[in-house]
Amino acid sequence: MIDRNESCTAGQIPMSYFACLAYLLREWTGVEHIEDYLSYAVYLLWLFYPLMVVFLLPGVIFLFIYVSVIFVHIYKRKNELKEAYSHDFWDGAKQMLATLWDGHARIWHGYELHGIENIPEGPGLVVFYHGATPVDYIYFMAKLLILQKRTCHVVADHFVFKLPGFKLLLDVLGVMHGPQEECVNALKEGHLVAISPGGLREALFSDETYVILWGNRKGFAQVAIDAKVPIIPMFTQNVREGIRTLGGIKIFRSLYEHIRLPVVPMYGGFPVKLRTFIGDPIPYEPNVTAEELSVKAKAAIQSLIDKHQKIPGNVFRALMERFHTRQKED
């Protein structure tokens, strides 16, 4: 071992970086055999590295969302002088965001959208199953804008509107708090509106069995009745294999029910195959009740799950589907 006054690279044979670090820490702390502790720490890091990765990967989605937030703020500042002269001020930003998210969808998930012809030319209420994150809906929205030049308003949980910096992005994308009157007005103006009746509860506490957790919610059905529009069911294959939650742990469920915030840890971020399927519209019927229409919508979502999703979901199988050249039949 070299003298304490010599550098780590002194002599004819330089020390390894690990030995150098151990030497410096031993001299600084005075702890003997510190290299044994460092070796154990490196072993633990190697052992738990895969676990750390699967908990960190979901953060990529939120990073992309914040990139979108920063982009719309830059876009607004750069083009604010044109606002008074253009009715389509945000079109460029929407197209750029759609291109960004569509690229992520194709590269990371080999994303496919099936049944887009089932979306009516006029207004309609898109009802979808909620994965651990709404990334599949974001992909759908991007593809819809690229293919049909249409935007789809969406109802989001109240906590989303409290996230710092999100207000402008939510306004640009037409994200709504979700009062029934606001949804009905948007539909009567000719827009598409999307909602997941299961909301956060379904996102956090459904699992690889794809159980629909709507409870007794039927307000969305009343919206469709009041606006006299069809309901369009939508489901994304393997959406729970991409990112999963620890919602099966009772303490997280109890905590959510008390504070109503998404405090359940997520893990995954796996590049599984995602396919979004849009089912046949449920037409408006003047004599149907909200409860009856809610049952019909739930049955339509369940039918899409039964047809396109193998239960229970399997991450490895969903990963292997990325390499299948034959598309699954609609």
Cβ atoms of residues 20 and 42 within 8 Å: no
- Name the burial class of residue 138, with classes exposed (0-12), middle (13-18) and buried (19+) by CB atoms within 10 angstroms of its CB: buried
Measured distance CA(322)–CA(317) in Å, rounded: 9
| CA-closest candidate to residue 245, choices 234, 233, 256 | 256
| CA-closest candidate to residue 276, choices 125, 169, 160, 118 | 118
The H-or-E segment that residue 117 falls in is none
DSSP string, 210-267: -----TT--HHHHHHHHHT--EEEEEEETHHHHEEE-TTSHHHHHHHHHH-S--S-EE
Please count the other Cβ atoms lying within 10 Å of the Cβ belonging to residue 68: 20
Cβ atoms of residues 151 and 94 within 8 Å: yes
> Which residues are the active-site residues?
130
Measured distance CA(289)–CA(234) in Å, rounded: 21
Beta-sheet strands, E only, within 84-230: 112-114, 124-128, 152-155, 175-176, 192-195
Half-sphere exposure of 165 (CA within 13 A, CB side): 12
The letter for the amino acid at 14 is P
Give the contacts of 103 (CB within 8 A, at least 6 positions apart).
none
